[in-house]
Chain A
Amino acid sequence: MSKLIAIIDYRAGNIKSVENALKICGAKPIIATKPLHLKNSAGIILPGVGAFKDGMKNLEKRKLIKEIKSQIFKGKPFLGICLGFQLLFSYSEEHGRVKGLDILKGGVKKFKVNLKIPHMGWNTVKLKMTNEKLKMPMFDGISDNAFFYFVHSYYAKPSEKNVVAGMTNYGINFCSAISKQNIWGVQFHPEKSGKNGLKILRNFIKKCL
């Protein structure tokens, strides 16, 4: 199997940092703009920042939605980052109600807290499983309440509680990481979270091989 990891380019922000981070972790990133790129990879990363609606529109324009779903259902390792994590859910309340990829049940909601928005900076992730034996592979080698870099104004609320891998507090407790079989998702930016973030990417690469 190839070691190629596809980073989906759907014009939703900076993919350069994800590419750089994967390289330093020893993977071979390819920038995926077509369904074929996803087929030929060992794993898929959906990064992204910006608006949910535009994100879905651009995925549609590049005809990537069907292939993303098909690859996920076939069991290919998948990592959603920030907007790419939110897009996995059924819908977002951004601009009324926008349909998402609907791979995970639940919605994306705006922060209604008396704090600064965006939630920007370093915050901790409380792991759901701290017992080393039960710890999710995503957080292998990462301690409980480790710091990660966040920047977002919306948060995901999964309907299936058993997919939650980590929680973060910003006025409210929200789900900052999910893990469901081959599907991983993180609200924070592992590519911008120093050593902890690179460790998560390494864990993902390991899963892809």
Chain B
Amino acid sequence: MLVKRIIPCLDVKEGRVVKGINFLNLKDAGDPAESARIYSEEGADEIVFLDITASFEKRKTMIDVVRRTARNVFIPLTVGGGIRKLSDIRELLNAGADKVSINTAAVENPSFVKEASRKFGTQCIVVAIDAKKTGKKKWEVYTYGGRKSTGIDAIRWAKTVEKLGAGEILLTSMDKDGTKNGYDIELTKAISTLVKIPVIASGGAGKISHIYDVFKKGKADAALAASIFHYGIYSIKKVKEYLQKKGIPVRN
């Protein structure tokens, strides 16, 4: 049986983890490669790196991070942030990433998703959607790390990216992100039941029960979380034990 995935996300800035993880056995909490390795050993099903480096020149550091990570981590690795060209994707894949996550570039140039999935295969193209609630069962797509509104309806956009050849959707609720109040169940369910590709829910995880809810009620295929793992509030193992007990199938 295909199981639900638990995916820790690491924000990386100029080659360093922004919110360092709080593990005793971690030599360098700032090294994304080292953190990814620990998460993998802990039972993470995949790893996501989000590059939040502002300056274009320093983006190259991510390639080195990916290369070092891929030498020791043997679960899927997704990299997102600032990907605009086919050559960006190629560089990351050649360094050892398995998937790339595209957000702003997809909105500004939808044919980029099409070209990318045709060139590299749908399985490695994840489209990230940052959505903000605007009304009853209505959400709007934001770009540039949540700074720019687009006027695009998130539900419709999800359907569009599926048609363009996205292999997966990474759906972040901007209203919930950082609140630790739980995922946006309504948003996740609306999109996950609409599209035929897997949906990774993101934004709002603060307790184990939130992850349970986003699977059970939100119908997510995978749950992404950052701070609850980084601060060592819950280990991935604990989360999985809890889910298993509550009848959500996970990899043990």
Contact = CB atoms under 8 A, between A and B. Distances in A.
Contacts of B120: 13, 50
A147 B2 CA distance: 9
A135 interface: no
A16 B70 CA distance: 8
Contact of B75 (A24, A116, A120, A192): A192
Which bracket fits the contact residues of A? 20 to 34
A14 interface: yes
A164 interface: no
B168 interface: yes
Contacts of B93: 13-14, 16
B98 A192 contact: yes
Given A13-B124, A122-B5, A151-B123, A116 B74 contact: no
B1 A116 contact: no
A53 B70 CA distance: 29
A194 interface: yes
B76 interface: yes
Interface string B27-50: 000000000000010000100000
Contacts of B98: 14, 17, 192
B123 A191 contact: no
Nearest to A117: B196
A75 interface: no
A84 interface: no
B239 interface: no
Contacts of A151: 123, 167
B3 interface: yes
A122 B74 contact: no
Contacts of B5: 121-122
Given A49-B124, A193-B74, A121 B94 contact: no
Contacts of A116: 196-198, 221
Contacts of A14: 93-94, 96-98, 124
A121 B74 contact: no
A58 interface: no
Contact of B3 (A20, A24, A117, A121): A121
B62 to A, nearest CB: 15
A17 B124 CA distance: 13
A123 B40 CA distance: 17
Contacts of A118: 122-123, 167, 197-198
A194 B3 contact: no
Across chains A and B, which 8 residue pairs bring their CB atoms closest together, nearest first? A50-B121, A122-B251, A147-B251, A151-B123, A16-B96, A123-B2, A49-B121, A120-B198
